[in-house]
Amino acid sequence: MRSLKYFFLGLFTILTLSVCAQRQDSIRFSLLTCAPGQEIYALFGHTAIRYENYTQHTDIVFNYGMFSFRTPHFVMRFISGQTDYQLGITPYNCFEAEYAFRGSSVYQQVLNLTQGEKLRLLALLEENYRPENRTYRYNYFYDNCTTRARDRIEEAIEGSVVYPDSIAGLSFRKIVHEFTAGSDWDELGIDLCLGRQADEEIGKRLQMFAPFYMFRYASDAYIIDKNGEKRPLVLQETKIVEAEAEPAEPGSFMSPFLCAACFLFLCVLIGWLQWRNRKIYWGWSVFLNVVQGVAGCIIAFLFFFSVHPTVSSNWLLMFLNPVPLFYIPFMIYFSLRGKKDPYHRINVVYLTLFMVIVPVCGQKINLSVLPLALGLLVNSVSYVLVWNKRK
């Protein structure tokens, strides 16, 4: 009888320890990295954190990339760098279905965390999800869905995370170009906005703004705990959503550079017609000033008022600024009065100076800008030649 009592006591102890062990192993956190999509906001991919609790039958995704286009003044707020994103929670099956539907594969990196670190990470995410904390000011280089996920994981770890050596020779613009390859118009738009600072070499911490760079660094990272013991950050890597990317929509056969080259040809043709006919087509010059000035207003707004990083060091402001737009009334006045307009002589010197400075300013200028600047230069040169010929 006594031996039977000890038998049941031992069995109860074993079952209790087994349940405790199961509870300790029932929580799993993973870093999810999603392949790029077709939309401009999805070109770089996405990062989220998956939380699984087997005993509670919970499988959800903490997503720092939630936003709505229906937010009042969304476009203006985005341009000025005042876009607010939110931390959202999505059932994993919905998250998986969304990315499978859009044709984006999802990669999972199971994190090698202790039980205490898992509970701390869960508490941090739950605290972030409180209504007063879930909204944050988005910054596409320094504070985005990827950097937020990385920072919360690092905060939860009792020790420090050591990442592999930085990949040399990378800048924000180079990484951006990796993911905009094949999206020429998107790449041109981004290049027009980014300034010289986007071409400075950056280290691994800043490179992690891009989801797949974070994925690459996390793969070989390790944790050094308070006792000096080392363990890998990632236990296992799997592809949990196997999706075939949707065929890219056929873009316009007119690339930005080809369009810019056609513009240059048109300027040369009109300049030749003006010179041959000894006639100045001042309406053409007014049109060019409108286009240049409107584009310049956007660049100037980003330069002076936007809080986006790197846009305040944009040398393109020399070429694209509001001055031509404001000068239009004077241009019309000189044309109607038949007087010589000093604008074009100044513009010849100014645009020539711009093209001399571009190679040495330290900023990578999109190649499409060169034919555009040359076209405006040709228009001003033709004005000066026609005026001299007429007089």
Full DSSP string of 273-293: HHHHHT---HHHHHHHHHHHH
| pLDDT-based confidence at residue 254 (cuts at 50, 70, 90) | confident
Query: Assign residue 71 a region: left if phi > 0, alpha if psi is -120 to 50, beta otherwise?
Result: beta
CA 174 to chain centre: 12
In this predicted structure, what is the pLDDT of residue 245?
61
Q: What is the pLDDT of residues 101-113, one digit of tens each?
A: 988 999 999 999 9
**Tokens encoding 222:** 């390790």
Q: Could you give the percent of the chain with pLDDT greater than 70?
A: 88
Of 71-75, 287-291, 301-305, which range is least confident?
71-75
Average pLDDT of span 330-351? 92
| pLDDT-based confidence at residue 391 (cuts at 50, 70, 90) | low
**Whether residue 43 has pLDDT greater than 90:** no
Backbone φ, ψ for residue 269 (5° rounding)? -65, -50
Helices and strands of the chain, counted as H and E runs: 14, 10
Return all residues near 257 (Cβ < 8 A) that are at least 6 apart: 184, 367, 368, 371
Average pLDDT of span 299-324? 90
Longest dimension (CA), the chain: 126
- CB atoms < 10 A from the CB of 383, how many? 25
In this predicted structure, what is the pLDDT of residue 244?
72
Fold of 23-166+203-241: endopeptidase fold (from Nostoc punctiforme) (3.90.1720)
Distance CA(177)–CA(184), nearest Å, equals: 10
What is the enclosing helix (H) or strand (E) of 331? helix 323-337
In this predicted structure, what is the pLDDT of residue 1?
45
Domain boundaries, the chain: 23-166+203-241, 256-390
Q: Which of 134, 352, 381, 379 is nearest to 265 (CA)?
A: 379
Distance CA(320)–CA(313), nearest Å, equals: 13
* Planar angle of CA 182, 184, 187, nearest 5 degrees: 110
- Which amino acid belongs to residue 33? T
pTM for the whole thing? Answer: 0.85
* Planar angle of CA 364, 295, 177, nearest 5 degrees: 30
Of 229-238, 247-256, 363-372, which range is least confident?
247-256
**Tokens encoding 95:** 């998250």
In this predicted structure, what is the pLDDT of residue 61?
97
In this predicted structure, what is the pLDDT of residue 4?
42
In this predicted structure, what is the pLDDT of residue 10?
43
**Distances from the Cα of 164 to the Cαs of 168, 179, 203, 221, 224, in angstroms?**
12, 22, 11, 6, 13
